[in-house]
Chains A and B, each alone.
Chain A
Amino acid sequence: MFFVSKLLGSTVRDASDKPAGTLQDLVVSSAPAYPVVTALAVKRRGKVLYAAWNQVASFEESGTLLRATAADLAERELRPGELLLSATFLDKQLVDTEGRKVIRVNDIQLLRSGNEVAVVGVDVSSTAILRRVGLAKVGERLATGRQKPKPHLIDWKHVDVEHTDDSSVRLAVPQTKLELLHPADIADLVHELSPDERAAVLESLEDDLAADAFEELHPSYQASLLLDLPDDKAAELLANMSPDDAADLLADLPDDRRQHFIAMMKKDDAEDLQELLSYPEHSAGGIMTTDYAWARLDDTAEHAMERLREQAESAETVYYIYVVDRSDKLRGVFSLRDLLTTPPEKRVRDFMTENPVSIRTAGTEDEITELIAKYNLLALPVVDEEGEIHGIITVDDAIDLVLPLAWKKRLPRIFH
């Protein structure tokens, strides 16, 4: 096992043991899980020349010996699928999908297997920094006897190279691996990136996943990020978000952009959003979502079940079904459990709970959390002065109200 940083700059000798140049970089194939060194980039008299791997006789930290003569080294273009290892990765940022964070490549680890040399890991430790600065001894002295400084290695298979743009400082995001993560974890990763990279990562995700991850982002990033995305992607994101979150986001956009996005939406979605936007941000109306499950007074249990099947996909929660009359007045509520344990022909008005606990659209955050806590609710319906239902507030949104600290702690990278 050896490190790239120790190899770079070492002497390359030709078949007659004369110095042919210094090692500038390693050419690796990007295809396999652990890339294999396919050629060496050798700096000779100010030029970068290449030696194919089959021209290498021995490859050690102390130096490289070639089978060929210096005259055999030639300039060439990189082939498709080939990368310069240190120029592409060393000192750059990568996403570690296993540890779920953004790391910086302090060194790259190689492993000899048979005749080949493969890239096996990334060293992200401070030991690697001290070693490269020439202070390895200091590191050893600082660490106490029992705790020898160890490299902190991340397996190469967790840092895919697919999306690496060879010359730029662009981040390598292994998209397929990202998609296996929970949206909240993706959001955490995205927080650590620079604004340009945030948009790039979101754009690469599938619509549903992008929307879920997007909702988990810090509100202060959402608006600027949305404006960075292509219009269709942004509209798709908004449509896939729950209406309460989408409304919060729209409220933060400039007028013309907001109108533009609303105009791009389906009529129903647009009307719901317009309504949500009309309530003050911290009132029950501003917090609620308009996607809830509902039934009519005269429905039978069987009929209510059919309705629920249709509504289930979009409704924020299916555990409570709200009963409304012809003028959308809230008359009662029943739970999914009630529905499952009731004979199919029984009418909703006969098994629902009347006078459900509800809150006015102008209700405050404290009132919401108090009601939900006191009555052990999973969701709280929001009604206007006439008793007409406008939406619900689910318990997870209520938790965000009492635990705002969790958000506040995620200050942006900037330090003010």
Chain B
Amino acid sequence: MAQSPRAVGRRLVGRIGRSRLLIVLSMVGPGLIAANAGNDAGGITTWSVIGSRYGYSLIWLLVVITPVLAVVQEMNARVGVVTGRGLAGLIRENFSLRLTALAMLATVIANFGTTVAEFSGVAAAAGLFHVPSFVAVPVTAVAVWFLVTRGSYRKVERVLLALGFVLVTYVIAGIMAGPDWSEALYGATHPSIAWDSLWLFTVIAAIGTTLTPWGQFFIQAAVVDKKIPWKQYVYTKYEIYVGSVMMTTIDFFIVVACAATLFPENIVVTSAQDAAMALQPFLGEAARYLFGIGLLSVSILAAGVLPLATAYVVCEAFGFESGLDSSFREAPVFNGIITFLMFIPAAVAVVPGLPLVSVILVAQSLNGILLPVILIFTLLLINKPRVMGEHVNGTVRNVIAWGFTGALVVMSAFLLLSPLFS
């Protein structure tokens, strides 16, 4: 049944040509996906509010956050490559059970808040299409729950990722809005610090929407799953850097678009309608709908990923059975967390008269306040030679990451204590 080599050669092309493409695509990996996933409902809303309330004056924040994001993401990716294990499992095996429980509690609370924000994003986007939230949110929650637990979420995910690219229109919108570039440059290079609670709240929200506890778990899990060998890690590292810059570049244009259109009119974003106006110079009347599609896609995407991610992380830490192929009876905790984190936040988001934008912002600053917990665990792990061997953190990275963590803790403390002073 052997064939002439030429006949074989001719037919080889079809199948192998495609599989090589798949290999290349599979290399485009964790860094870029993580960056993309970062610009969710929370990201769009937070940076829109910042641009509309503070104009160009907070752009320096992006200049500071970008290297920190790159450093912190790289750390978790490196832990993943060196140990081949997830962050939750490492925390459990290297710290006491009490500390593990603390880390999990922080993660669950932060992810709960973020999922509320995502469903608020769904509600806000539905509003742009005149669909009431008590219809849109439950329908979305049930649909996403089915897709996630039935395991067919990945296909939908690609469509949503593609639709989320609508947000790239911000880059064009930002340029077409005719911003004052010299002011933008000034805002990027001259940190303006107003030490009041609204400012603190906004800055922590901006940090919390860019760097999240779940983002750290995510990038490490993604790297572990891709099984990147240390020799190829350098590519992953650069991909993370590129992804970080890409993410904050889009954020930059969101700020610029809002600062050029809304800030001069004294409109502070309080609804999706306001936020969509920033795209009008470019898209005209279509702005409302394109913005709605983009917001809806990124919100649904994250609303599916977050409960699933949380369930995996908690089960990894405590050794409960997990996996989408196990039934509710076999894996009660895993399925319970997914269901709870899907429907309770959805229920919160349909409360009538809920100030959606404020809810989203609160969830982002909650993430920012809880982020140090995960950062400290990562930093302690990455400095242990027993865990990392020769790949422990260098001085520069330690200074950046510890410094940032410390600053975030101080700002969070001031924010939480500020009601006492006023």
Contact = CB atoms under 8 A, between A and B. Distances in A.
Interface stretch (B58-66, B151-159, B191-199): B151-159
Contacts of B278: none
Contacts of A411: 151, 154, 323-324
Interface in B217-248: 218, 221-222, 224-225, 227
29 contacts: A91-B93, A92-B93, A124-B319, A126-B320, A126-B333, A169-B85, A169-B89, A192-B323, A252-B23, A254-B20, A255-B20, A272-B1, A274-B3, A274-B8, A278-B8, A278-B10, A281-B15, A290-B1, A389-B1, A405-B150, A406-B325, A409-B324, A409-B325, A410-B324, A411-B324, A413-B221, A413-B322, A415-B218, A416-B305
A234 to B, nearest CB: 15
Nearest to B331: A101
Interface stretch (A13-21, A62-70, A127-135): A127-135
A271 interface: yes
Contacts of A195: 84, 224-225, 227
B325 A104 contact: no
Contacts of B86: 194, 413
Contact of A415 (B5, B14, B312): B312
A34 B17 CA distance: 55
Given A290-B1, A408-B152, A414 B12 contact: no
B12 to A, nearest CB: 5
Interface in B320-364: 320-325, 333
B109 interface: no
B97 A132 contact: yes
Interface in B116-141: none
Contacts of A101: 321
A280 interface: yes
A393 to B, nearest CB: 15
B101 interface: yes
A83 interface: no
A105 B324 contact: no
Contacts of A251: 15-16, 19
Given A195-B224, A195-B227, A277-B16, A415 B319 contact: no
B224 A194 contact: yes
Interface in B14-34: 14-16, 19-20, 22-23, 33
Contacts of B84: 194-197
A277 B15 contact: yes
Nearest to A412: B225
Given A104-B92, A104-B319, A278 B222 contact: no
Contacts of B386: 167
A415 B308 contact: yes
B19 to A, nearest CB: 5
Interface residues of B, number: 55
B146 interface: no
B165 interface: no
Given A93-B89, A413-B224, A416-B154, 16 more contacts: A103-B319, A134-B98, A169-B93, A195-B227, A197-B84, A252-B19, A274-B3, A277-B8, A277-B15, A286-B15, A405-B151, A409-B325, A413-B312, A414-B222, A414-B224, A415-B305
Contacts of B92: 91, 104
Contacts of A192: 323
A104 B314 CA distance: 12
Contacts of A255: 16, 20
A156 interface: no
Interface string B275-296: 0000000000000000000000
A197 B227 CA distance: 12
A93 B5 CA distance: 49
A252 B25 CA distance: 12
Contacts of B85: 169, 194
Interface string A250-283: 0110110010000000000001101101111100
Given A194-B84, A272-B1, A408-B151, A105 B319 contact: yes
Contacts of B150: 405, 409
A328 B3 CA distance: 12
Interface in B292-310: 305, 308-309
A106 interface: yes
Contacts of B90: 169
A93 B318 CA distance: 10
Contacts of A296: none
A133 B97 contact: yes
A224 B224 contact: no
Contacts of A413: 86, 221, 224-225, 312, 316, 322
A360 interface: no
A91 B101 CA distance: 13
Contacts of B319: 93, 103-106, 124
A390 interface: yes
B312 A279 contact: no
A192 B37 CA distance: 25
B396 interface: no
A59 B135 CA distance: 63
A390 B305 CA distance: 44
Interface in B37-84: 37, 83-84
